[in-house]
Amino acid sequence: MSVLVVVEHDRGALAPASLEALTAARSLGGEVHALTLGAAADASAAVLAAHGAAVVHQVHHDLLADYGPEAWGESVAQAVRALQPDAVVACGTDRGNEVLAQAAARLDLPFVANCTEIGAGDTWTITRVRWGGSLLEQCTLTAATKLVTVAHHSVEASESPTAGAVQPLAVDLDPSLARTVVCERVERAAGVTLGTAPLVVGGGRGVGSAEAFAPLEELATELGGVVGCSRAVTNNGWRNHTDQVGQTGTRIAPDLYIACGISGAIQHWVGAMASKKILAINTDREANMVTKADYAVIGDLHKVVPAITAEIRRRRGG
């Protein structure tokens, strides 16, 4: 069996999610190749080889200078026709799912998104995440070439070094494929981001106001993390949507999520459930977040959060 992994990057900055896809691809058995689109991604070849890509196919084309779903999808379709892999794997990020959907439509193949478990045989048996993570669905996939994405954060990336031969791959792209191309982007603020932070302090409606987030900011800063929030908070205009955790926000996977005054509605939970440990601070011991958390403090967050920060500082001698 041969598996082709579509690598995600932004102007050459490799998406860590692609290393999860490579790790998942290795577990299917058979030889794993990687496909990078655009010259900017060439520099990632060594990292891809370290994560098990026996061959890195590099596609260069003017239309691939920046991300565009149509040009990327058509490039993947042409790569599949040229290389004839048994399976194509990408990470189930927005871009990964968009590109494979584009490729699947062009190849007239089925596509299974956001898989958490894959049993590879002639027919694949798959568990996949549906409805924003609130449902796990089991399905089978029988297509000759199997197109799947792996649910983000469902696999921990690991290395498996190979020599990683680099091979150019030519594609023929019509200028009409440039209809949708990223031309501007908001520069990410310096420091850790919500999606990659090792620690997130989340605040919900229980925080009460925009100003009342200050103690949560202090705790996050003390622990080298960032502040997130629920949709009740963004709906109230207390924080920007970029801070929202959940189905319609960011999916987080920190080592510790400290959820303060958040009830744990399913739409919030699906964005938080990949956290390795959760500490809930809530006045309601029956709140969903409390019953699902690894640790809970039942109490008023306005007292508990400053007390935690003060204790950390005391122990650090600050």
Ligand X SMILES: Cc1cc2nc3c(=O)[nH]c(=O)nc-3n(C[C@H](O)[C@H](O)[C@H](O)COP(=O)(O)OP(=O)(O)OC[C@H]3O[C@@H](n4cnc5c(N)ncnc54)[C@H](O)[C@@H]3O)c2cc1C
- Nearest in space to 177 (alpha carbons), one of 100, 101, 71: 71
Beta pairing class for 124-130 and 111-119: antiparallel
> Nearest approach, Cβ of 85 to ligand X (angstroms)?
35
> Nearest approach, Cβ of 254 to ligand X (angstroms)?
16
Binding to ligand X (CB under 6 A) within 275-294 occurs at: 281-284, 287
- For position 206 contacting ligand X by CB under 6 A, the verdict is yes
Asked if residues 126 and 148 have their Cβ atoms less than 8 Å apart, the reply is yes
Which of 201, 232, 293, 308 is close enough to bind ligand X by CB under 6 A? 232
The DSSP element (H or E) to which 124 belongs, if any, is strand 124-130
Interaction pattern, residues 85-124, with ligand X; x per rule: CB under 6 A? ----------------------------------------
Which of 204, 225, 228, 254 is close enough to bind ligand X by CB under 6 A? 204
- Nearest in space to 3 (alpha carbons), one of 53, 59, 72: 53
Which of these segments, 14-22, 102-110, 230-238, 309-317, binds ligand X (CB under 6 A)? 230-238
Asked if residues 271 and 249 have their Cβ atoms less than 8 Å apart, the reply is yes
- For position 267 contacting ligand X by CB under 6 A, the verdict is yes
- For position 41 contacting ligand X by CB under 6 A, the verdict is no
- For position 69 contacting ligand X by CB under 6 A, the verdict is no
Closer CB to ligand X, residue 57 or residue 239?
239
Does residue 136 sit in helix, strand or coil?
strand
Closer CB to ligand X, residue 246 or residue 254?
246
CB-based burial label for 66 (10 Å; 0-12, 13-18, 19+): middle
